[in-house]
């Protein structure tokens, strides 16, 4: 089965209430996708540890959305860049599937 995992890492969740609501709504809208799981990490010590160990954050931020697609490719988005209400929803859905490859015309010959 194809599995895609999404983690939202928030250092100070009081500053990101609106963004966390958007992530929760994205989870609700995505509930029918069997291979997609969304989680939130809001423990400051754990977020700080992950920032030291991983390249999932921009230089100035401690808040990020991490997506590991079923093929192992990892994407990240700084929560500060999430400026539109549905941005997280569309970003997660777009990054969770591969782009369609161009069809080879020889297939139809």
Q: For 15-33, what is each residue's pLDDT tens digit?
A: 888 888 888 888 888 888 8
* Of the options 3.40.30.10, 3.50.50.60, 3.10.450.230, 3.40.190.10, the CATH number for the domain spanning 4-108: 3.40.30.10
Q: Determine phi and psi for 47, rounding to 5 degrees.
A: -65, -45
Buried b / exposed e over 39-76, threshold 16 CB at 10 Å, is: eebbeeeebeebbeeeebbeeeebbbbbbbbeeeeebb
**Euclidean distance between CA atoms 89 and 102, whole angstroms:** 26
Question: Contact at 8 Å (CB) between 44 and 106?
Answer: no
**Overall residue count recorded for the chain in this entry:** 109
The reported pLDDT for the residue numbered 69 is: 92
Please state the domain extents for the chain.
4-108
Task: Please tell me the pTM assigned to this model.
Answer: 0.78
């Amino acid at each position: 089965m194809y599995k895609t995992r999404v983690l939202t890492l928030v250092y100070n969740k009081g500053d990101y209430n609106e963004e966390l609501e958007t992530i929760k709504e994205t989870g609700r809208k995505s509930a029918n996708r069997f291979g997609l799981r969304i989680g939130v990490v809001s423990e400051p010590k754990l977020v700080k540890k992950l920032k030291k160990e991983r390249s999932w954050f921009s230089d100035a931020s401690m808040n990020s959305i991490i997506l590991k697609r079923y093929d192992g490719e990892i994407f990240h988005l700084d929560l500060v860049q999430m400026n539109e209400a549905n941005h997280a929803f569309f970003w997660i859905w777009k990054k969770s599937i591969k782009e369609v490859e161009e069809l080879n015309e020889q297939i139809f010959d």
